[in-house]
Structure 1
Amino acid sequence: MPEYRRILLDGAVTETVREGEELVARDGRRVKADEAHHLPPVVPSKIIAVHLNHRSRVEEFRTTLPPAPTYFHKPTSSLNAHRGAVVRPEGCKWLNYEGEVAIVIGRTCRNVSPGEAGEYIAGYTVANDFGLHDFRDTDAGSMLRVKGSDTLCPLGPGLVTGWDFRGKHLRTYVNGEVVQDGSTDEMTWDMHYLVADIARTITLYPGDVLLSGTPANSRPVRPGDLVEVEVEGLGRLANRIVTGPAAIRADVGAQPSESEEVLSTALGGDWEFRGIRPPRRG
């Protein structure tokens, strides 16, 4: 399966194809994949994410799914890349990872059936749909700052074409330890359904990204942690958590909070029922 990566090579944005452990530019220049400065593999006009899709995540929150999927939007300014730093702002504590598969649109898509949707998909990449839950009380369900703050949408390392999404394992690691272990087979709505659903009323353009949901066990991470998401056949996306250089401004807007809603989401939905005390996070 071909894999395409966008990198910064000799100061210029360059599209490459992976050949083993090397990335090859169209002009023949080669660079080792482990040494390349990666960029997001695509440049979307929009990023759309499904709220809940994996059965294990639904069970973790002790809830039920609606008859059809619901979504939120991540601004393109949240984009990040393989090995990019994910910033947890000073004064915030509840930054959670969410390992996912990202769908990348290949051609303009509008009003297609699930059976036709695959023809409009360019390929897939790995995503980490980070959430800054300190702002969960203030966005009235939009998730704008929770999921849309800068650096909170790493994608990569590359765009893989010809990948069959069925029966693929997804794992998230924090400092080398497995923290999420799921499969695309536990998705209630598959990739083709999601594309067709959105495209009923929203035109999807080449490069647009749809995030397909995360399995159970999204939990908080802190500065210094290395978070990696590995999807069978798509590769391994790695990002380090860092502290932002400044605190959230206090002279405007709602401030980070720590309500039961924040804790319940950050710690898995049923922490209060399991007698778990919120951890002290540095």
Structure 2
Amino acid sequence: MTEYRRILLDGAAVEVVRDGDRLLAPDGRAVGVDEAVHLPPVVPSKIIAVHLNYHSRVTEFQGRLPPAPTYFHKPTSALNAHGGAVVRPERCEWLNYEGEIAIVIGRTCRNVSPAEAGEYIRGYTVANDYGLHDFRDTDAGSMLRVKGSDTLCPLGPGLVTGWDFHGKRIRTLVNGEVAQDGNTADMEWDMHYLVADIARTITLYPGDVLLSGTPANSRPVRPGDVVEVEVEGLGTLRNHIVSGPVPVRADVGAQPTESEEVRSTALGGDWEFRGVRAPRRP
């Protein structure tokens, strides 16, 4: 396996290769892993995410999987990197982590079978598909603001090639405590299936990202929290939560809400089940 990272090196974006505790640039320059300023490891033209894939997540919501995957789109302006700050806007309370594995496309991909899809994958990276559920009442169909607001798509720290996704552990930790603990064996649709499914009608280009779903126990986090996603063989993606300095404008558009659906979704319940209440978070 080889791990590639994108970092700021003397003010320029450079793709480097990890060699132990050092990151090596093509021109011979080197920087320590812990000293590097990271960028997202890829520059995608699009980011596509599957709604539900892990059986533990479906069980948590007291539901069932659809007969085929369903997806939503995160704008590239949501991209963030290892070590970056994830912003919870003022007037919003329900920002949830979702530890995931991201598939990165390596060459133009269209109309391939699941058996062929692996040939079009460059590698994999760690992702955190944050959701701002305060906007779920208005954007549940598209998930645009829920999942697409600025900073809500950290990727990294590196892109790993030659990684076998079968039977790999994925964990999310909040302030050092395990919050999610799953395994890719719990996925209904594997990485190759997802790529082939999307590529039936949408051309995937080199660098494009597919997010493959999250296990159970996505929960809200607040400013000051440190969130880490660990994937066996891919490393650890670390981010911290900050409060946005400017409130969401109140003079335009749908406003953040705290309905039963918002609270229950954020806390892992079926919103149609009555009696789901939770204290407001500061």
Provide the C-alpha distance between the structure 1 equivalents of 2:272 and 2:119, rounded to a whole number of angstroms.
45
**1:1-282 correspondence to structure 2 within 5 Å:** 1-270=1-270, 277-282=277-282
Structure 2-normalised TM-score? 0.98
Q: CA deviation at 1:273?
A: 5.9
Gaps (5+ residues) in structure 2?
none
Letter in 1 for 2:109: C
Specify the SS of the correspondent of 1:180: strand
Contact 1:171 1:180 in 2 (8 A): yes
Contact map agreement 1:41 1:155 (CA 8 A) in 2: yes
CA contact (8 A) 1:271 1:277 kept: no
Alignment partners' CA distance in 1, 2:40 and 2:144: 20
How far off its partner does 1:269 sit? 1.5
| Alignment-mate amino acid for residue 250 of structure 1 | A
The answer as to whether partners of 1:50 and 1:211 remain within 8 angstroms in 2 is yes
What per-residue deviation string (whole Å, max 9, x for no partner) do you get for residues 164-187 of structure 1? 000000000000000000000000
Measured in 1, the distance between the counterparts of 2:140 and 2:169 equals 33
Determine the C-alpha separation between the residues in 2 that align with 1:124 and 1:138.
Answer: 32
CA drift at 1:79: 0.2
Is contact 2:261–2:272 with CA below 8 Å preserved after alignment? no
- 2:53–2:212 Cα contact (<8 Å) kept: yes
Letter in structure 1 aligned against 2:104: V
- For residues 210 and 77 of structure 1, what CA distance do their matches in structure 2 show? 15
Please give the alpha-carbon distance, in whole angstroms, between the structure 1 residues aligned to 2:2 and 2:133: 36
Alpha-carbon shift at residue 256 of structure 1 (Å): 0.0
Give distance in 1, aligned partners of 2:140 and 2:22: 46
SS of equivalent to 2:108:
coil
CA RMSD of aligned residues (A): 1.2
Q: Which sections of structure 1, spanning at least 5 residues, go unmatched? A: none
Deviations 1:89-108 (A, max 9, x none): 00100000000000000000
Amino acid at match of 2:142: S
Q: Deviations over 1:178-204 (max 9, x none)?
A: 000000000000000000000000000
Query: Which amino acid in structure 1 is aligned with residue 201 of structure 2?
Result: T
Task: State the identity %.
Answer: 83
Structure 2 CA distance for aligned equivalents of residues 58 and 180 of structure 1: 14
> C-alpha distance in 1, partners of 2:63/2:223?
31
Distance in 1 between residues matched to 2:140 and 2:123, nearest whole Å:
33
Counterpart amino acid of residue 90 in structure 1 = E
Deviation readout 1:148-179 (Å, 9 max, x if unpaired) = 00000000000000000000000000000000
Quick one: which amino acid aligns to residue 90 of structure 2? E
The answer to whether the Cα contact below 8 Å between 2:135 and 2:145 also exists between their aligned partners in 1 is yes
| Cα shift at 1:279 | 2.8
Distance in 2, matches of 1:209 and 1:161, equals: 14
Deviations 1:201-259 (A, max 9, x none): 00000000000000000000000000000000000000000000110001100000011
SS at match of 1:233: coil
Q: 1:264 Cα shift? A: 1.1
CA change 1:232–1:195 in 2 (3 A) is: same
Compute the displacement of 1:280 (Å): 2.7
Partners of 2:157 and 2:189 in 1: CA distance:
25
- Aligned counterparts of 2:62 and 2:4: Cα–Cα separation in 1: 39
